[in-house]
Amino acid sequence: MNTHTRTIPSAPRAICYHATGKPDEVLKYEALPGDAREPAAGEVLVLMEMAVIHPSDLGMIGGTYGRLRPLPAVAGREGVGRVAKLGEGVTTLRIGDRVRMPEDSGVWREALVAKVSDLMRVPADLPAEQIAMAFINPPTAWLLLHEFADLKPGDWIIQNAANSAVGECVIQLAKALGLRTANLVRSPEKHEANLRALGADIVVADDDKALKAVLAQTGGAAPRLALNSIGGMSAITLTRALGNNGQLVTFGGMTGDAIRFPTREFIFKNVALRGFWMDRGARSATPAALRAVYDAVYARLRDGSLRMAVDSVYPVSQYAEALARAGAYGRSGKVLLRGPGA
């Protein structure tokens, strides 16, 4: 049996939780016997290369996310690994191939044995830090720009929380598609330079003057698509900015505030309100459709029109420090975990 040149842990460990709750109270770094076994026929051993820490991971651990795992569970939703051993009869993967770590198995782990049918080979020529983040936020941004409005080059879109990971992906992908973006943020003085460097056309404070400020800079042209991940008054601003038959798509609720919709826009502009959850979309899409979205993301990563910010990288064994950094004020980009496949 061929073995990858990277060192394979004799007793691979994973970041697990046996009950939902606060991460610092329920997470444990422990060995899982199944991760140390030899791959059977049709299976491979994968060493985790790089994994991402997302707010949704913390929601799963805390028991508040829209879809929870049976307990006990391994934490983490997004990451990539390298094939280290092949089971009998495996011909579609080779030693050293990079694959997406299976989300449902949990990815904050050193290694796992997986069925080949549960794995997706991903590009090996892209930086591990970038490809590890390619499966949730960039596809979310891509689908938001393609699924809800027939946008043409030159069209305007508007979004709040523009400095979020999805927001930054939206800006870059929109620019590559020839679209123009109006971006609302809490602190323009902190974020404007970076967002404009990514391709933002307008950056304004998300306050009661935002609508007037945006329309003044668009020359009166109304956005056709509004992307909301906050709610409350911010969602009202987005709705009022839309033109006739505009679409407001909500895919997050950072503040937890209820969304209140202006009656006038419903009646006189025929504004439509939609919801989007990438998790649901990915599970209902055909493999071919999902692959097409990922391929579009890979192409943008490869040509440099899409780049995701990385704040820091920690060994998976230092997960407590990594989680503390992920929750720290002033963080710039995602915090990643590095495994033995790196």
Q: Mark whether 105 and 150 lie in a shared domain.
A: no
Q: Distance between CA 14 and CA 108 in Å, rounded?
A: 6
Q: Are residues 113 and 150 in the same domain?
A: no
243, 151 contact by CB (below 8 A): no
Q: Considering only CA atoms, give the Rg of the chain.
A: 21
Residues 142 and 267 in one domain: yes
**CATH code of the domain in which 101 resides:** 3.90.180.10
Q: What is the DSSP string of 111-173?
A: EEEEEGGG-EE--SSS-HHHHTTSSSHHHHHHHHHHSS----TT-EEEESSTTSHHHHHHHHH
Range of the domain at 179: 137-279
Shared-domain flag, residues 106 and 150: no
Percentage above 90 pLDDT, the chain: 80
**Number of domains forming the structure of the chain:** 2
3-class state of residue 241 by DSSP: helix
Nearest to 151 by CA among 132, 130, 170, 126: 170
CA separation for the pair 154, 175 (Å, rounded): 10
- Report pLDDT digits (tens) over 51-60: 999 999 999 9
Q: What is the largest CA-CA distance in the chain?
A: 68
* 125, 142: one domain: no
Say whether both 233 and 331 belong to one domain: no
Residues 171 and 242 placed together within one structural domain of the fold: yes
Residues 334 and 264 in one domain: no
pLDDT at 2: 44
- pLDDT one-digit tens code per residue, 314-340: 999 999 999 999 998 888 899 999 999
> Hunting for tokens 């493999």 — which residue is that?
287
Looking at the structure, tell me whether residues 268 and 179 fall in a common domain. yes
pLDDT recorded at residue 10 = 86
Report phi then psi at 330, rounded to 5. Answer: 90, 0
Asked if the model's pLDDT at residue 251 lies above 70, the reply is yes
Same domain (yes/no): 148, 207: yes
Q: How confident is the model at residue 5 (pLDDT cuts 50, 70, 90)?
A: low
308 Cβ neighbours under 8 A, 6+ residues apart:
130, 133, 137, 138, 165, 168, 169, 333, 334
The span from the CA of 140 to the CA of 302, in Å, is 18
Residue 65 annotated to the active site? yes
Region 205-224: mean pLDDT is 94
* Closest-CA residue to 119 (of 44, 69, 12): 44
The answer, yes or no, to whether residue 284 has pLDDT greater than 90, is no
Average pLDDT, the chain: 92
| Residue 17 is assigned to a structural domain of this protein | yes
From first CA to last CA, the distance across the chain in angstroms is 21
CATH number at residue 240: 3.40.50.720
Domain end (from 259, 279, 299) = 279
Is 29 part of any domain?
A: yes
More confident residue, 226 or 3: 226
Task: Answer whether residue 149 is part of any domain.
Answer: yes
- Select which of 17, 29, 65, 314 is catalytic: 65
83 shares its domain with 163? no
pLDDT one-digit tens code per residue, 141-158: 999 999 999 999 999 999
Residues contacting 219, CB < 8 A, separation 6+: none
